[in-house]
Amino acid sequence: MNEPIRFELSPSMFGPKKQTIATFGSLSASIFTYDSGVEAIRLENSLGGLTILPYHGQQIWRCDFLGRELTMKSIFDEPTGSRDYLMSYGGFLLHCGATAMGVPSDQDDHPLHGDLPNAAYRNAAIIAGSDEKGRYLSVTGRYEHKVAFNCRYSAEPTIKLREKATGIDVGITISNLRAEPMPLMYMMHINFRPEDNAELFYTAPKTSAAVRVHNSVPGHIKSGHIEDLKAFMDKLETDPTLHHVLKADLPLDPEVVFTVHYEADSEGWAKTMLRYPDGTGAYVSHRPDELPVGIRWLSRKGDEEAAGICLPATAEHKGFSAELEKGNVQYLEAHQSRTFRVKTGLLDSGEAKHLADKIG
């Protein structure tokens, strides 16, 4: 294993024409700019790849493996560059937080899901390296958020793709740069594309106590099917298994949200999989000791179709004031850092069957 090589990037390097700037074995990294002006990095191996927005939240805008597009369906073909959450919403993975997260209530003044989803990063880099698992390319960067007399923190994500892999490792380190404690809320918002008759598997008891539906609809989402949705959520309160198969007629307009209390395996990882009818499976693996709350978000509105099978988080999604009252807001002490790690992507049919059999 050699010392990793780091390629520092600059916005001036990006142009409308896609250009390869790094290759490492069967891995490659290319850069380009969308028509909207948003810079993008494409990481690829022989099985697929992902598109990252290095200066726009370090979002993963698109992700595909084995010929399957994993990203949610949305009305946005490309990122718009807006810093408003819903004005450019349609990415595969967004970082949410870090001093507040979730849907703000009337008592909150934070933006929807916090400052991180569309944060303006100034620094970005590509890293080529190898470890005990083989070669990889990763994208990283650093964002610093400063509000005088209030907070100062940094966020440093890492997105890693390996050779012959159909999944990625995603991590983020959040550091409090002030000499006083800082409230911490974080969620990794992963948005898969649902498909009729796909089936959910996950490492939690299938009871209403462990899989709790949030029987309410947030005001920022509009729909003409609210009554059907409310009736369905009433049933889910006693039988959460009713959503385990994404039947075409499930009333998921505009959305259904659950809190899932996961159980970890002997190595500390909790597992969630959405197995598609072709046998492949979208998956999320997270560590409940780092991210103790598993949010599940399902939405099928036609123009937007998303299966957030597990959004690992430090708190529920109700906004800062509500989560503070519930005791869910964590804190970073002065100059303290916290790292969160998640694995996500696609399993082939054999791997998906093995995981389904293991979960039961």
pTM (2 d.p.): 0.97
Residue 9, token pair as written in the block? 């990037």
Do residues 284 and 310 touch, judged by C-beta distance below 8 A? yes
Q: Considering its fold, how many domains does the chain have in total?
A: 1
Do residues 345 and 355 touch, judged by C-beta distance below 8 A? no
The CATH number given to whatever domain includes residue 262 is 2.70.98.10
| pLDDT tens-digit series, residues 27-80 | 999 999 999 999 999 999 999 999 999 999 999 999 999 999 999 999 999 999
In angstroms, the CA 62 to CA 192 distance is 10
Which long-range contacts does 32-37 make (Cβ < 8 Å, 24+ apart)? Answer: 34/78, 34/79, 35/78, 36/78, 36/79, 36/80, 36/81, 37/81
Percent of the chain scoring above 70 in pLDDT: 98
pLDDT-derived band at 219 (thresholds 50, 70, 90) equals low
pLDDT computed for residue 347 by the predictor: 98
In angstroms, the CA 337 to CA 334 distance is 9
The SS3 assignment for 321 reads: helix
Overall average pLDDT of the 293-298 stretch: 98
Residue 85, token pair as written in the block? 């959450």
* R_g of the chain, CA atoms, integer Å: 20
pLDDT-derived band at 227 (thresholds 50, 70, 90) equals confident
Do residues 32 and 16 touch, judged by C-beta distance below 8 A? yes
Residue 72, token pair as written in the block? 């949610």
| pLDDT tens-digit series, residues 149-173 | 999 999 999 999 999 999 999 999 9
Q: Does residue 224 carry a pLDDT above 80?
A: no
pLDDT computed for residue 120 by the predictor: 98
| pLDDT tens-digit series, residues 246-279 | 999 999 999 999 999 999 999 999 999 999 999 9
Domain residue limits at 29:
5-359
| φ/ψ of residue 100, rounded to 5 | -155, 155
Q: How many C-beta atoms lie closer than 10 Å to residue 289's C-beta? A: 10
> Under 8 Å CB-to-CB from 315, ≥6 apart: which residues?
101, 102, 185, 187, 293, 323, 326, 328, 329, 330
Q: How many C-beta atoms lie closer than 10 Å to residue 56's C-beta? A: 26
In angstroms, the CA 35 to CA 37 distance is 5
pLDDT computed for residue 226 by the predictor: 84
Q: Which residues of 136-153 are buried (b: 16+ CB within 10 A; e: fewer)?
A: bbbbbbbbebeeeeebbb
In angstroms, the CA 139 to CA 9 distance is 10
In angstroms, the CA 270 to CA 284 distance is 8
Cα distance between the two ends of the chain: 38
pLDDT computed for residue 220 by the predictor: 62
* Between 96 and 217, the higher pLDDT residue: 96
Do residues 125 and 8 touch, judged by C-beta distance below 8 A? yes
Place of tokens 């937080």: 97
Overall average pLDDT of the 185-213 stretch: 98
pLDDT computed for residue 2 by the predictor: 76
pLDDT computed for residue 221 by the predictor: 64
